[in-house]
Structure 1
């Protein structure tokens, strides 16, 4: 299933993002990144989509409550906070994952890829807008080199 996953994911991304450099893979494999800051990892026992929502957040009870409330109502994945170097540098991430055993057929795998690649931009936009009131900035910097950002995303999604 993993080989099918990667080849179909790349085919979908070529259609969604036809310009060179809009999406890519890392040399060590099992990681593909695409706009708007989505990283797919597909090693081990799961396929996972991860994304950074905001960075530079100041930790507060209200922020933690907002993340908890979102996790209570959101069925497609989960949100979590990751500490940065200071109290004013917390980061908000989102991920959804599926165990390879869930995919009974190639069609179910292909359907999941299509759904998450199409839904991710809307999820990121809605969550980003919800958390703008807490300050910070969007996590993914579209003007920066995507590969270091993808590696950092993978480290925070582990």
Structure 2
């Protein structure tokens, strides 16, 4: 049974009639056409569906849309300010930290959450922050370099 829910996504408020149990990921992709978060595993194990919920990286695939009504939701698309990419997004491009790109949403969202709490993380802290995101392409070194690059820019 559909219910009216209101979600604040990327600074805008959206009100829609949806099944309250609809996963937040489906709401973002299907209702709002936001394609940063990807469907991967559907069980919170791969990280491709990561979004920021009140600034913390969280998988959106099994969180009901109705449970996110009181939260600030930020997707990959919401990190940029108009045409200006976020520092983390720029760093991932500069370091060429993508191969297939499927994990990039989760990696960038997780890096953004880490750097908002810790502006000068160690390699170990970076690895720990990114461990929830599955990447099989082998770009881990470039991803870590991208996070360090972004941290350096934030600190300058």
Query: Quick check: which one's strand share is greater?
Result: 1
Q: Same fold (TM over 0.5)?
A: no
Scaled by the length of structure 1, the TM-score of the pair is 0.31
Query: Quick check: which one's helix share is greater?
Result: 1
Higher RCO (CA 8 Å, separation ≥ 6 residues): 1
Scaled by the length of structure 2, the TM-score of the pair is 0.31
